[in-house]
Structure 1
Amino acid sequence: MNKHLYLAIIAWLIGLSTTQAQNADQLYYNTFALQFHYKAASFVVDTPLVASAPQAFLLWSANVYQDSTKSSLSLDQFDANGNFISEHVVPQPGKLLPSLLPKKIFRMKSGKGYYLLGYVIQSTNLINGIPVYSTPVLIRLDQLLNPIWVQKLHFSAVTTANANALIEYNDLIEAINGDVIIAGRYSPSPAGQQINILVTRLTNAGAIVWNYQYSTNFTCNANALALTEATDNNIILTGYVELCTSGFGGPRQVLFLRLQPTGIPVTGFAYLGATTESAGTKIVKRTNIAGNDAFFISGFTDVTAATGAANRQVLILDVRESGTIVGSFHVGDAGTEESNDLVIRNLGNENYYLYLTGFTTSYYTAVSKEVFYLQLRYLPGSLGLVEFSTFPQTANYTERYGLEIKAAGKDKFAILANANYITSSTSSTSTFTNVLLRDLSTTNQQCIKLHQPPVGSINFSPKQLTVSPTALSFKPYAEKYIVFQKVFPKLLCGQFTVNAYDALNSGVIEQRIAAPTMPLNKVAPVTKLETVNIYPNPASNYVFIEYNKPITSKVLVKVFGPDMRLLKTIDINDNNRKTLSLDGLPSGLYFIQVGDNNKNETFKIMKN
């Protein structure tokens, strides 16, 4: 009887482990019908105010109903299984999807709560009774999602002369002193005049500290898409500048711009070298070296394919605070690959994992775009592929693309994606949101498909920019923030579970490294389980295996590749330390399974 009970407990534990360690795909919508849209642009994984509360993540979205009178920028709260909890909105009646642009949400570092950035084109919410073209919305909330301040930004004196100005922010960060810095683009008119970089600094009370537009000696359009703060409190931006071919427009090139904390330019570069176009969409600080920090920039670049045509691929740059490029790489296959977001994990000794999402057109014909999860291993001067996976589903969508990636557990990532779904017999589509989970602790390939795009290097030539700031007189205006209706989840694949507590302690860096670089043995400890030790990890040409359990039957060690193809097998016949050779295997991720007929344990090992 005890034996049967023991086996039942073991089976239950194995089943529990299997269900919790799963990839997943969950759809979110307001009403699954034509002319309804729920399009998230940013999300945050976070613990609730108290441990017993259900919150696990928040979505910041464009929420459009069929008659559009209920349209809004929408903040929606969900539990660990992705079930709806609450909704707050910034109402924008009468606005359709192209005019509603939620941008970013992030959790405060200097306090408790959140900042949200949005943008509305030709909002029906007037400023001083005057309709304006651009309405940037900036919100500070407490940890319970109650508003501390909700405001929109525009000129201090709004007139018919400046009401049509383009004022659009794309990204925001919280500075080390608690200020908020937002960056984007500005033009006196959305058509016919040069578009310049725009950066605004505000206090945590919402008051503007300084506000500049920046023109360059290229006299072409430019746009800041992402920013971060250096150890010396300088502000580092990326995005693109255009090479004028007609008027102010032309092919985009990666931008690097360094500003003092006061907004005064230090240096700027356009990185030239793409076959036609390139741009930076995310920048992450990876060091703590005042005056000489290192940053990863991700985005896209065009390279020359074998046919001679331009081929768009994921771009990875390693740059210093001076603007010097230390490493430049591209990742992609025969179609198009673009990256929209990047987070990193510091492995020590200048080694990093990079995790990205975006879209690919290389592997499918039934859909025009598919979302990807990309994991890379960076060592100084080299970049290696760990995994490139997609999440193909039978759901009726025409395209799907990843926008942001966040830690969703200790070794789990959540990807925010949007897709155009066919909801009726007509060819018209509605845009809805997916949250995808890639659980690296599972060895199965449920919900995903693996691919092997090549990784290559690319040369860029930094072109020095002369950057000129011009002060603009903006001020905040009050905006509305109210409780609203509901969002519905629909599980498409796997089991959906987000662990916000583990995510916050996962070591994943979203915007800047928060502590000095730690030794490898502290950041990536040796794997130690109850019966088996395998080390070192990462490994070079071999790993050691210590099997500490009494050997009563044949024990096998099996090495599997990332596609779970068996590559090598050795026997263990005593408790002495064994050496497993990795010679002949390329750099990348491997799974090592150790055990007998009764129990197996699986370990993830990275080979340099």
Structure 2
Amino acid sequence: MNKHLYLAIIAWLIGLSTTQAQNADQQYYNTFALQFHYKATSFVVDTPFVSTAPQAFLLWSANVYQDSTKSSLSLDQFDANGNFLSEHVVPQPGKLLPSLLPKKILRMKSGKGYYLLGYVIQSLNLINGIPVYSTPVVIRLDQLLNPVWVQKLHFSAVSTANANALIEYNDLIEAVNGDVIIAGRYSPAPAGQQINVLATRLTSAGAIVWNYQYSTSFTCNANALALTEATDNNIILTGYVELCTSGFSGPRQVLFLRLQSTGIPVTGFAYLGATTESAGTKIVKRTNIAGNDAFFISGFTDVTAATGAPNRQVLVMDVRESGAIVGSFHIGDGGTEESNDLVIRNLGNESYYLYLTGFTTSYYTAVSKEVFYLQLRYQPGSLGLVEFSTFPQTAHYTERYGLEIKAAGKEKFAILANANYIISSASNTSTFTNVLLRDRTTTNQQCIKLHQPPVSVINFSPKQLSVSPIALSFKPYAEKYILYQKVFPKLLCGQFNINAYDALNSGIIEQRTAAPTLTTDKMVPSTKLETVSIYPNPASNYVFIQYGKPITSKVVVKVFGADMRLLKTMEIIDNNRKMLSLDGLPSGMYFVQVGDNSKNETFKILKN
């Protein structure tokens, strides 16, 4: 055989064995109990500190036996190929719980670890000997998924008068100072009384800083579904308000609520237009302009067709911190399209890619709902469709809907979805979780189908709301924590692989927070607790480190990127001033950690 032809065949065979760009669909369930409901509501693509780290993503899930009186929460860890690694969190062990639900999970930015938000209905774990109707649960874990604290939130003095209060948080973020901010809804009773927006701020140690419900004029009910932090540290919430028509009900409209970092309201709006209903389900900050940031809000809106019938479609809005609308659009076809999550990529010059997931009913009959991946290109006043694709049926399920979308590589996205699966007959179903991959680098349309829904402008006008804060006296109650049962993946379509390390470099913004405030005097050291001084700040190619505490053990300097990836290390052996080189690092924000085994101090450094 010709030598060159032989080498070409070998190269071709090697190429076949290499991981190619690939879409995929993988299901997560319990092999030993097929009627065991496994339902995730949030996940993170776990961007590792080093490229060889084994974990790839974490699923924050509900685990429910066929016996509906038993349920629990778990945090499942998987590698890049979707193989199970470990399972962790279960608060309230050994109890019969009618409804125990996960809400959100996020990775810490100010430290190493995670925050989880959950929600319990009618827990048999009493508070001060009294059964309560609803109990939010907030959990902080370290990097190894061990609990730092696990606690539930309720009234400081629980009584029969407030035990039936509706307390439900829907979203949480980590503020730039490391605090945790959560938002949702509150009512003195589950039904028959007004529901207000609820927001709470906690320290990283779990202590409550402030806690308010917000009463809004012209509305009967209001709910916060998502929030973010502005550059000036104001808190921006979206969700919906119901404009009262009679009693405690009315059509829903998108809510925009701006709070000071102290929880005091600045302004609030309901966005009204030629639509029967609308709501915001996700908000992402796209600028860094103190006092005048811009935000993308995604959600849904019911537009009215020529026949007069409402048609729910994806809603995308661009709004300023003042509440002013820059642009608003809807995307959809003849059936229902509803968005649940949004991430963005800044292309520069006020141009962005928007990536969304949710569900559609426009293109299938055997399945009542199917997951979609939606990519849009935005410039102020203009929104264009890049791709609308679905993940068609690969197993026996009646509906499936996308919940969250995350960067899973440089041009790869992971979508978390849940589906109602048929076990043995149409009347015997169970809920399972899927993780779907949309790889933009592949030309192979395996696992996806392309569609072309129109993108249209929709006109909204802001209606000013007067917002009154009402303080609620909450306190955290310690909760227990145990391990739970193992789940298993089942590959339904394509080759499953997440490149979590490359996701760091994807440029995707999931929940953007404000830039830290830095000293502008290059000759003034940035000091902390009088032990360590680091200067200048901002810096160019180096910083000086002065370690003032007598050195009795090994002192190490570590430099982390804004994503908390370790970039440099240096050891300090005496108390003389040391120079730390920043050569080779691009301009941007870095964290410098200095300390020994007993104590560490961390500084935010800006490199010009």
Q: TM-score, normalised by structure 2?
A: 0.82
Preserved contact between residue 390 and residue 448 of structure 1 (Cα < 8 Å): yes
Preserved contact between residue 287 and residue 513 of structure 1 (Cα < 8 Å): no
Q: For 2:128 and 2:243, locate their aligned partners in 1 and report how far apart those are by CA, in whole Å.
A: 38
Name the aligned partner's letter for residue 285 of structure 1: K
Paired residue secondary structure (1:372)? strand
Q: For 1:200 and 1:329, locate their aligned partners in 2 and report how far apart those are by CA, in whole Å.
A: 31
Residues 83-107 of structure 1: per-residue CA shift (max 9 Å, x gap) = 11111132455656x7222110010
Preserved contact between residue 180 and residue 202 of structure 1 (Cα < 8 Å): yes
Residues 31-59 of structure 1: per-residue CA shift (max 9 Å, x gap) = 47564200000000113466544210000
Deviation for aligned residue 1:234: 0.2
Name the aligned partner's letter for residue 145 of structure 2: L
Residues 505-542 of structure 1: per-residue CA shift (max 9 Å, x gap) = 211000116779xxxxxxxxxxxxxxxxxxxxxxxxxx
Deviation for aligned residue 1:483: 1.6
Aligned residues: CA RMSD: 1.7
Report the equivalent of 2:397: 397
Kindly indicate whether residue 115 of structure 2 is the aligned counterpart of residue 115 of structure 1.
Answer: yes
Q: For 1:256 and 1:404, locate their aligned partners in 2 and report how far apart those are by CA, in whole Å.
A: 21
Paired residue secondary structure (1:424)? strand
Q: For 1:164 and 1:317, locate their aligned partners in 2 and report how far apart those are by CA, in whole Å.
A: 36
What is the 5 A alignment of 1:505-520? 505-512=505-512
Preserved contact between residue 112 and residue 143 of structure 1 (Cα < 8 Å): yes
Name the aligned partner's letter for residue 130 of structure 2: I
Q: 1:50 to 1:168 in 2, by over 3 A?
A: same
Name the aligned partner's letter for residue 459 of structure 1: N
Preserved contact between residue 253 and residue 274 of structure 1 (Cα < 8 Å): no
Preserved contact between residue 366 and residue 398 of structure 2 (Cα < 8 Å): yes
Report the equivalent of 1:155: 155
Q: 1:482 to 1:367 in 2, by over 3 A?
A: same
What is the 5 A alignment of 1:227-266? 227-266=227-266
What is the 5 A alignment of 1:555-570? none
Q: 1:190 to 1:8 in 2, by over 3 A?
A: same
Preserved contact between residue 34 and residue 429 of structure 1 (Cα < 8 Å): no
Q: 1:108 to 1:318 in 2, by over 3 A?
A: same
Kindly indicate whether residue 356 of structure 2 is the aligned counterpart of residue 345 of structure 1.
Answer: no
Report the equivalent of 1:80: 80
Q: For 1:12 and 1:155, locate their aligned partners in 2 and report how far apart those are by CA, in whole Å.
A: 65
Name the aligned partner's letter for residue 311 of structure 2: N
Report the equivalent of 1:11: 12
Structure 2 unmatched ranges of 5 or more: 517-608
Q: For 2:3 and 2:409, locate their aligned partners in 1 and report how far apart those are by CA, in whole Å.
A: 35
Kindly indicate whether residue 270 of structure 2 is the aligned counterpart of residue 273 of structure 1.
Answer: no
Q: For 1:428 and 1:259, locate their aligned partners in 2 and report how far apart those are by CA, in whole Å.
A: 46
Q: For 2:33 and 2:395, locate their aligned partners in 1 and report how far apart those are by CA, in whole Å.
A: 14
Q: For 1:379 and 1:32, locate their aligned partners in 2 and report how far apart those are by CA, in whole Å.
A: 51
What is the 5 A alignment of 1:23-422? 23-31=23-31, 35-48=35-48, 51-67=51-67, 71-92=71-92, 93=94, 99-422=99-422
Q: For 2:32 and 2:309, locate their aligned partners in 1 and report how far apart those are by CA, in whole Å.
A: 40
Residues 162-188 of structure 1: per-residue CA shift (max 9 Å, x gap) = 100000000000000000000000001
- Percent identical pairs in the alignment equals 88
Deviation for aligned residue 1:393: 2.0
Name the aligned partner's letter for residue 191 of structure 1: A
Q: 1:515 to 1:156 in 2, by over 3 A?
A: closer
Deviation for aligned residue 1:12: 3.3
Preserved contact between residue 33 and residue 424 of structure 1 (Cα < 8 Å): no
Preserved contact between residue 367 and residue 399 of structure 2 (Cα < 8 Å): yes
Structure 1 unmatched ranges of 5 or more: 517-608
Deviation for aligned residue 1:227: 0.2
Kindly indicate whether residue 469 of structure 2 is the aligned counterpart of residue 462 of structure 1.
Answer: no
Deviation for aligned residue 1:138: 0.2
Q: 1:153 to 1:212 in 2, by over 3 A?
A: same
Q: For 2:50 and 2:267, locate their aligned partners in 1 and report how far apart those are by CA, in whole Å.
A: 45
Preserved contact between residue 228 and residue 285 of structure 2 (Cα < 8 Å): yes
Q: For 2:184 and 2:473, locate their aligned partners in 1 and report how far apart those are by CA, in whole Å.
A: 16
Preserved contact between residue 251 and residue 276 of structure 2 (Cα < 8 Å): yes
Report the equivalent of 1:578: none
Preserved contact between residue 21 and residue 439 of structure 2 (Cα < 8 Å): yes
Q: TM-score, normalised by structure 1?
A: 0.82
Further displaced range: 430-439 or 303-312:
303-312
Name the aligned partner's letter for residue 6 of structure 1: L
Q: 1:35 to 1:250 in 2, by over 3 A?
A: farther
Preserved contact between residue 229 and residue 513 of structure 2 (Cα < 8 Å): no
Q: 1:99 to 1:261 in 2, by over 3 A?
A: same
Name the aligned partner's letter for residue 416 of structure 1: L
Deviation for aligned residue 1:425: 2.5
Residues 527-572 of structure 1: per-residue CA shift (max 9 Å, x gap) = xxxxxxxxxxxxxxxxxxxxxxxxxxxxxxxxxxxxxxxxxxxxxx
Q: 1:48 to 1:326 in 2, by over 3 A?
A: closer
Q: For 1:12 and 1:412, locate their aligned partners in 2 and report how far apart those are by CA, in whole Å.
A: 25
Q: For 2:424 and 2:207, locate their aligned partners in 1 and report how far apart those are by CA, in whole Å.
A: 48
Paired residue secondary structure (2:130)? coil
Preserved contact between residue 169 and residue 198 of structure 1 (Cα < 8 Å): yes
Deviation for aligned residue 1:304: 1.3
Further displaced range: 251-260 or 52-61:
52-61
Q: For 2:296 and 2:159, locate their aligned partners in 1 and report how far apart those are by CA, in whole Å.
A: 42
Name the aligned partner's letter for residue 187 of structure 1: S
Paired residue secondary structure (1:502)? helix
Q: For 1:242 and 1:212, locate their aligned partners in 2 and report how far apart those are by CA, in whole Å.
A: 19
Name the aligned partner's letter for residue 240 of structure 2: Y
Preserved contact between residue 232 and residue 514 of structure 2 (Cα < 8 Å): no
Paired residue secondary structure (2:89)? strand
Name the aligned partner's letter for residue 42 of structure 2: S
Q: 1:80 to 1:257 in 2, by over 3 A?
A: same
Paired residue secondary structure (1:3)? helix
Report the equivalent of 2:471: 471
Name the aligned partner's letter for residue 15 of structure 1: L
Deviation for aligned residue 1:126: 1.7
Paired residue secondary structure (1:129)? coil
Paired residue secondary structure (1:496)? coil
Q: For 1:125 and 1:498, locate their aligned partners in 2 and report how far apart those are by CA, in whole Å.
A: 39
Residues 190-235 of structure 1: per-residue CA shift (max 9 Å, x gap) = 1111000000000000000000000011241000000000000000
Q: 1:513 to 1:164 in 2, by over 3 A?
A: closer
Q: 1:124 to 1:9 in 2, by over 3 A?
A: farther
Paired residue secondary structure (2:334)? coil
Preserved contact between residue 71 and residue 91 of structure 1 (Cα < 8 Å): no
Deviation for aligned residue 1:64: 0.9
Paired residue secondary structure (2:425)? coil
Q: For 2:269 and 2:10, locate their aligned partners in 1 and report how far apart those are by CA, in whole Å.
A: 62
Report the equivalent of 1:602: none
Aligned length: 514
Q: For 2:392 and 2:81, locate their aligned partners in 1 and report how far apart those are by CA, in whole Å.
A: 21
Further displaced range: 326-335 or 85-94:
85-94
Q: For 1:321 and 1:115, locate their aligned partners in 2 and report how far apart those are by CA, in whole Å.
A: 27
Q: 1:149 to 1:114 in 2, by over 3 A?
A: same
Q: For 2:122 and 2:268, locate their aligned partners in 1 and report how far apart those are by CA, in whole Å.
A: 33
Q: For 1:86 and 1:69, locate their aligned partners in 2 and report how far apart those are by CA, in whole Å.
A: 25
Preserved contact between residue 230 and residue 513 of structure 2 (Cα < 8 Å): no
Paired residue secondary structure (1:242)? strand
